[in-house]
Amino acid sequence: MDLGTIWFILWGVLWAVYFILDGFDLGIGSIMPFFAKSNEEKRIMYNAMGPFWDGNEVWLITAGGVTFAAFPKTYAVMFSALYTPLMLLLFALILRGVSFEFRSKIDSPGWRKLWDTCNFLGSFLPALLLGVAFANIFKGIPIDQDGILHGNLLTLLNPYGLAGGLLFVALFAHHGALWLAFKSEGDIHDRAVALAGKLWPVVAGLVVLFLVMSLMMTQLFANYLVNPLLFIILLVAVAGLVLTMTYRKAGRILASWGASAVLIGSAALFGVVGIFPALLPSSLNPAYSLTIQNSSSTPMTLAIMLGVALVFVPIVIAYQIWTMRTFSHPVTKADLDYEEAY
Amino acid sequence: MDTLMLSRLQFAFATFIHFIFVPLTLGLSIIVAMMETKYVRTGDETYKRMAKFWGKLFLINFALGVVTGITLEFQFGTNWSRYSTFVGDIFGSLLAIEATAAFFLESTFLGVWIFGWNRLSPKLHCTSIWLVACAANFSALWIILANGFMQHPVGYVIRNGRAELSSFLEVITNPYGWNAFLHTVTGSWALAGFFVIGVSAWHLLRKQHVDFFTKSFRIAAGFALVSTLLVAAVGHRQGNIVAEVQPAKLAAMESHWETQKNAPMYLFAVPDPDNEKNSIEIGGIPSLLSLMAFNDPAAEVKGLKDFPAEDRPPVTLTFSAFRIMVGLGTAMLILAVLAFIARHHPEEASHKLLKVFLWTIPLPYIALQAGWAVAEVGRQPWIVYGIMRTKDAVSPIAAHQVGISLAAFFVVYILLASLDIYLLAKYARSEPH
């Protein structure tokens, strides 16, 4: 396998890991206004993601950085063509990031309400925008040979893009409810499990809808038909979807969250494999697509980057798993009384 | 205004605001780590309270440093897509390494540090803040090495219409990048030192929590003195490197028009770029510029007139920013010595001196921003020195898109920065628990 293909796979995996990890934070933020009944419940939700959200978000920065390093032309065209949605995403993430740190710093209901709103917008909007953006990428975006977008934000809000946006919102909300259930006890735990149960059919319905729309409106299945072995990815996604329900019903919440992670990861990879070898397919003319071939860095850079990734990524995964284990306990009253808690 | 000008303003503004938050985190993380180490070694609870008190200020600021940093990474793609395509092979990899090797470590262990006081052993907990501090500074290294490539491109060949990597070793051993990194981080450490000194002075003026703030003052005074000495030493070397690799920037820093040997330095001058001269020059010291730039009083220093007008950086801005940086740096050095002398009994220092320390807090901020302006404005009109012009780097996007985002940046960042300063002031004045 050549270096470009290896980096294409790593590129897809990085985005998938980002969706899995930040997915539960974004999901908890998205359900918060509809779920929490009191300030204490909100604090349990904040502290359920407290030790993790910052480290999770770095996967986004790494996915962006790797796109820049391995496929600079794709990076350049992707972000300039999607200027407006990307700026919206950045502002949303800014508001979310500071909401964690600022919310508990002044003891006033109005102040907390302000940052709760920011946290909600900063969670819901990224979920929606990332879904819309990636669905459009899977379908192909109207870029010409110079990488200039023919269209505007409304062009991206087509039915398929919106279906992708809703799918992401639902996947993350479900994923977040499960994480909250894992990190809480008592009433809030039970209600989080129940919410995940209510969200599951929505997720399942949107998964089916998205697949049907993909079949009808995109070229995503072409690679699968050429190499039917790839359908394993879809099978894994379906297995994740079913298992997250069975585990939840069996009361094995962490396993259910894991199955949801598998679902999210394979859903992302399903699209990435479908567009191979393009990273940014053009809907105007396949010749304008940005591919591994016409957008990658030199073999020297790709090789050096691969060395860096092989050394550091396993270390990152190791300490992030250690962190999750260290803070795997449910958030309790004692945790909320903890001086540094959010 | 066109897309280029709006994009320049947006990037400059976003960097300016980002750079208000980052320097404090680079230095304060180390000071907090030193305090916690002292706690682990001695078991003295005061040091634990100190780590928590200063740690809280660190965290308020850190959040903004992170979120404003993310937008900078993505702006290379959104606003400078031609630049990104041209240098991605080299520049992109440095950013990716920064995220993988440093930023992950910093962000993950910061979460561990915040939530781990009761869940980890004191040693392990202390290790986590050291990891945060080292990773934060290591992160700065990669970012400034990336900037170093823009300032002094090395290890590349121009091929296939872009800059392709020819020697990774050269890129990561770029003397400009390393020296700029040392200059920036030591400046940031000094800033954090003066921040702790200033806040401590505020409490000592009120004779409250004297033991707590005397100990904080003492740690910060030593830290500030070492840092300011290092900034000055590294800064001199930085001048030498600029003289060698960016002669136009050096000439603009000094508003030096005529190429000459034994070039003088003026105590006071007012540049007049329109007429290619200085309208006022007072107190010229012969050969000083040659000596400072090349460590040789007879050396020839190239003047601005020897560069085509389209290759000259904005002179007045570069010149003034450089003067501000050096002037404030000198003042900081004197103040650091005074703080060091007073470190054992700062509570007995005169009210005046303590007040001076309080009002010193903004100075390093201004000095660092000015230094950044010298580096970045002085590099113009090039985005990559000598190879790519800023005007050729901008994205092919509509001006109104950038106009709207710039307005949004302006509103959101100013609001957040004001809140941040308000919260810093509130918690700096609060009682240590």
Give the model's pLDDT for residue A90: 94
Contact B89 A297 (CB under 8 A): yes
Q: How many domains does chain A have?
A: 1
Contact A60 B433 (CB under 8 A): no
Give me the count of residues in chain A.
342
Q: How far apart are CA B329 and CA B318, in angstroms?
A: 16
Which of A53, A70, A98 lies closest to B64 in CB terms? Answer: A98
Given the structure tokens 């669905």, which residue do they identify?
Answer: A135
The model's pLDDT over A59-109, given as tens digits with 9 standing for 90+, comes to 999 999 999 999 999 999 999 988 999 999 999 999 999 999 999 999 999
Confidence check: pLDDT of A246 > 90: yes
Greatest pairwise CA separation for chain B in angstroms: 68
Weakest-pLDDT range from A283-292, A332-341, B242-251: A332-341
Q: How far apart are CA A23 and CA A16, in angstroms?
A: 10
Q: How far apart are CA B3 and CA A175, in angstroms?
A: 41
| β-bridge pairing B388-389 and B382-384 | antiparallel
Which residues of chain B have a CB within 8 Å of the CB of A319? 105, 108-109
- pLDDT < 70 regions, chain B: none
Indicate which of B93, B105, B138, B164 best probes the interface with A, i.e. most A CBs within 10 Å of its own CB: B93
Distance from CA of B296 to the nearest CA of A (A): 40
Q: Which of A227, A320, A207, A326 is nearest to A268 (CA)?
A: A207
Q: How confident is the model at residue A26 (pLDDT cuts 50, 70, 90)?
A: very high
Contact B395 A61 (CB under 8 A): no
End-to-end alpha-carbon separation of chain B, Å?
52
Residue A21 covered by a domain: yes
Do B242 and B250 touch, CB atoms closer than 8 A? yes
Token pair for B400: 């109104």
Question: At A168, which helix (H) or strand (E)?
Answer: helix A159-182
Indicate which of B89, B145, B423 best probes the interface with A, i.e. most A CBs within 10 Å of its own CB: B89
Q: How far apart are CA A107 and CA B35, in angstroms?
A: 28
Do A68 and B120 touch, CB atoms closer than 8 A? no
Do A150 and A144 touch, CB atoms closer than 8 A? yes
Do A61 and B73 touch, CB atoms closer than 8 A? yes
Q: Is the peptide bond before A281 cis (omega within 30 degrees of 0)?
A: no
Residue of A nearest to B119 (CA): A326
The residues near B392 (Cβ < 8 Å, ≥ 6 apart) are: B82, B383
Q: How far apart are CA B26 and CA B185, in angstroms?
A: 7
Residue of B nearest to A94 (CA): B67
Is residue A287 classed exposed, middle or buried when 0-12, 13-18 and 19+ CB atoms within 10 A define those classes? exposed
Residue A289 covered by a domain: yes
Q: Does A230 touch chain B (CB under 8 A)?
A: no
Do A298 and A151 touch, CB atoms closer than 8 A? no
Q: Does A254 touch chain B (CB under 8 A)?
A: no
Q: What is the pTM of this model?
A: 0.93
Q: How confident is the model at residue A229 (pLDDT cuts 50, 70, 90)?
A: very high
Give the model's pLDDT for residue B347: 81
Q: How far apart are CA B177 and CA B174, in angstroms?
A: 5
Q: What average pLDDT does this structure show over A214-218?
A: 93
Weakest-pLDDT range from A228-232, A317-321, B216-220, B292-296: B292-296
Q: How far apart are CA A151 and CA B348, in angstroms?
A: 69
Residue A308 covered by a domain: yes
Question: At B262, which helix (H) or strand (E)?
Answer: none
Tell me the domain boundaries of chain B: 174-397
Q: Does A151 touch chain B (CB under 8 A)?
A: no
Secondary structure class of A221 (helix, strand, coil): coil
Sign of the four-CA dihedral B152, B153, B155, B157: negative
Give the model's pLDDT for residue B391: 94
Confidence check: pLDDT of A15 > 90: yes
Q: Does A300 touch chain B (CB under 8 A)?
A: yes
Structural domain that includes position A185: 3-221+272-337
Residue of A nearest to B87 (CA): A72
Do B402 and B7 touch, CB atoms closer than 8 A? yes
Give the mean pLDDT of chain A.
94
Which residues of chain B have a CB within 8 Å of the CB of A71? 88
Give the model's pLDDT for residue A44: 94
Q: How far apart are CA A66 and CA B93, in angstroms?
A: 7
Distance from CA of B109 to the nearest CA of A (A): 8
Residue A235 covered by a domain: no
Residue A124 covered by a domain: yes
Do B205 and B354 touch, CB atoms closer than 8 A? yes
Phi-psi region of B311 (alpha: psi -120 to 50; beta: other; left: phi over 0): alpha
